[in-house]
Structure 1
Amino acid sequence: MNAPGDPPRRIAIVEDDAHLRRYLCEVVDADPRLEVAFTEGDFVGATRRIDGCPVDLWLIDLQLPDGNGADLVRRLKAGGDVKCLILTVLGDRTSVIAALDSGADGYLLKDTDPAALVGSILSALDGYAPISPQAAHFLLDLYQQDVRKARPTPGDAALSAREQEVLRLFSRGLSYREAAGILDLSTHTVRDHVKAIYRKLSVHSRAEAVFEARQLGIISASD
């Protein structure tokens, strides 16, 4: 965030619609913490500016008449540490994922109100990743899919009978020493079983192991 007396942060605007380009200039210049570095209406014009005047953040449309905004983001990111925000009418899943895969620091829709737009620019400059709610929906869906893929299935887990016994005792709150005594094993052997359980269930604690085992039906909720 700009401190009092700091120069305004310089914003490049790449947008092919002249009316919207003027509007974005007005929004940016209305905030004393920001100023427009330059504007361009196409991909080629924007690439010619990359090595020119310094820019703190690029505000880029996805659909340019001679190229894709995501490709421009890739070129900018390959050349240095610069912030890039996508500003587009496209709120579909494919566009969101393609833009963020390119390295964009945020994804905003063009109906974002002026105050929210300025706030998002400042947020991106501070290292955050502003995302329009419509775009965030797709990211949440992807995250949930990844979690489901990462979670082992009962077949993947394949806990031995002894490992299941150890888990059932842990689910009742027993310690390593107590579990070892009931199973007539050494504490060291119980620890070896626990390591195998953690590996198979992709967890890092007894509580997580018990939770995952119940979710997978390896042990019952009453255990």
Structure 2
Amino acid sequence: MTIRVAVVDDEELIRVGLRIILDAQPDLEAVGEAADGADVPAMVARTRPDVVLMDVRMPAIDGIQATRQLLATSALPPRVLMITTFDNDDYVYDALRAGASGFLLKRARPAEVAEAVRVVARGESLLFPAAIRRLVETHGSSGGPAGDRLRAARLTEREAEVLRLMSTGLSNAEIAASLFLGVETVRTHVRNVLTKLGARDRTQAVIAAYESGFISPGG
């Protein structure tokens, strides 16, 4: 199955480079591009990508606004993978909260770009635990709604344990090995955690866990 990818960046050189990387892979296809967030809805409706590589900073409508609008207005929105220059970019944190499934550094190697697209297309999240911890430390734990949501979720002890391991960036297989469980059992626990938290994906669940204080950036 070919993964359809759209590229959104205000720098033409970046767009061209990403298209070359994508089209060089047998299972990836660049199907559209846009130079600003304002052009994203029409481009996505026209090309129907599975994944959108979205620049964070753009002149008219930035990647955060574009992501929020895309996820709110599309019945079956594509996965969004943010691309940024710095892994401590404050905008990245806002983009993840807006619904992006992860972020990718512009200095990433071609193989890393391709694999990141595959990970996100599978419905998984591209987590960089150390970077997310730094972002949460900068913004602080807000408690409030995030804390209320976690308390209301009433996670079981096992689900809470799975959420903690998710926050370290472990895959389902790695969590299963750590807890001596089957991969399908872990997958069920992950689904339950996402459902109870009302999270779109693992990234949203992990951010909620940090913001609520359930997981501390230092621990």
Secondary structure, in 3 states, of the residue corresponding to 1:52? helix
Change (3 A) 1:52 1:130: same
> Among residues 52, 63, 69, which one is paired with 2:63 in the alignment?
69
Distance (whole Å) between structure 2 residues aligned to residue 117 and residue 12 of structure 1: 13
- % identity of equivalent residues: 26
- How many Å apart are 1:146 and its aligned residue? 7.5
CA contact (8 A) 1:96 1:135 kept: no
Q: Which has the higher contact order (CA 8 A, sep 6+)?
A: 2
* 1:114 corresponds to 2:110: yes
> Where do 4+ consecutive residues of structure 1 move more than 3 Å?
131-134, 139-147
Change (3 A) 1:46 1:144: closer
> Among residues 22, 28, 38, which one is paired with 2:22 in the alignment?
28
TM-score normalised by structure 2 residue count: 0.58
**5+ long unaligned stretches in structure 2:** 148-219
Matches within 5 A, 1:148-187: none
**Offset from partner CA, 1:49-77 (integer Å, 9 cap, x none):** 13222210100001112111011111111
Distance (whole Å) between structure 1 residues aligned to residue 141 and residue 4 of structure 2: 38
Task: Report what 1:101 is aligned to.
Answer: 97
Matches within 5 A, 1:1-223: 6=1, 8-78=2-72, 79-81=74-76, 82-92=78-88, 94-132=90-128, 135-138=131-134, 141=137
Distance (whole Å) between structure 2 residues aligned to residue 102 and residue 126 of structure 1: 20
CA contact (8 A) 2:81 2:100 kept: yes
Compute the RMSD of aligned alpha carbons.
Answer: 2.6
**5+ long unaligned stretches in structure 1:** 1-5, 151-223
Secondary structure, in 3 states, of the residue corresponding to 1:51? helix
**How many residues get paired?**
143
**Offset from partner CA, 1:2-43 (integer Å, 9 cap, x none):** xxxx3x111000011111111100111111111001111112
* Alignment-mate amino acid for residue 96 of structure 2: L
Task: Report what 1:170 is aligned to.
Answer: none
Distance (whole Å) between structure 2 residues aligned to residue 143 and residue 65 of structure 1: 24
**Offset from partner CA, 1:123-167 (integer Å, 9 cap, x none):** 0111111134663342574899589xx8xxxxxxxxxxxxxxxxx
TM-score normalised by structure 1 residue count: 0.57
- How many Å apart are 1:95 and its aligned residue? 1.6
CA contact (8 A) 2:90 2:135 kept: no
CA contact (8 A) 1:25 1:36 kept: yes
* Alignment-mate amino acid for residue 46 of structure 2: G
